[in-house]
Amino acid sequence: MSRELSLDTGVPYNLVKEVMQSYCHLIYRKLANGEEVRVDGVGTLFLKFRKGRSWKCSFNEEMTTTPDTYYLSVRGSSILREALGELYDSGEGPVPQKPRKAPPGA
């Protein structure tokens, strides 16, 4: 993406790459501190908490545990949603995938 941005703007690639790396590190630091990060035209990035779970496997009776974790979530901006909607309406956007069928007996 840095190369495309460099070609579109005429700014040297090395400078674009350096700025993008600094921007990414800033985002990492803010997310690590628990802050929400607003990216203009894209949306808001934030971490969500997922509680760990434990369950007993039915066929071998072993306990399985997953730890508590955080995962990245994105709340898309209205500008991005409208732009994607226009792409789909015009037929230029990616083709939406069909939903997967449930396996037999599920």
Q: What is the pLDDT of residues 9-35, one digit of tens each?
A: 999 999 999 999 999 999 999 999 999
CB-CB contact of 68 with 52 (8 Å): yes
Residue 95: what pLDDT?
66
Any residues with CB less than 8 A from the CB of 38 and at least 6 apart, and which? 44
Output the pLDDT for position 103: 66
Q: What is the DSSP letter of 51?
A: -
Amino acid present at 17: K
For position 89, what pLDDT does the model report? 78
Domain residue extents for the chain: 1-35, 36-93
Taking the C-alpha atoms of residue 104 and residue 106, their distance in angstroms, rounded to an integer, is 6
pTM above 0.75, yes or no: no
Q: Which long-range contacts (CB under 8 A, 24 or more apart) does 30-36 make?
A: 31/72
The CATH number of the structural domain formed by 36-93 is 4.10.520.10
What's the Cα-to-Cα distance from 20 to each of 25, 42, 75, rounded to whole Å? Answer: 9, 15, 21
Q: What whole-number distance in Å separates Cα of residue 96 and Cα of residue 94?
A: 6
Residue spans of the chain under pLDDT 50:
none
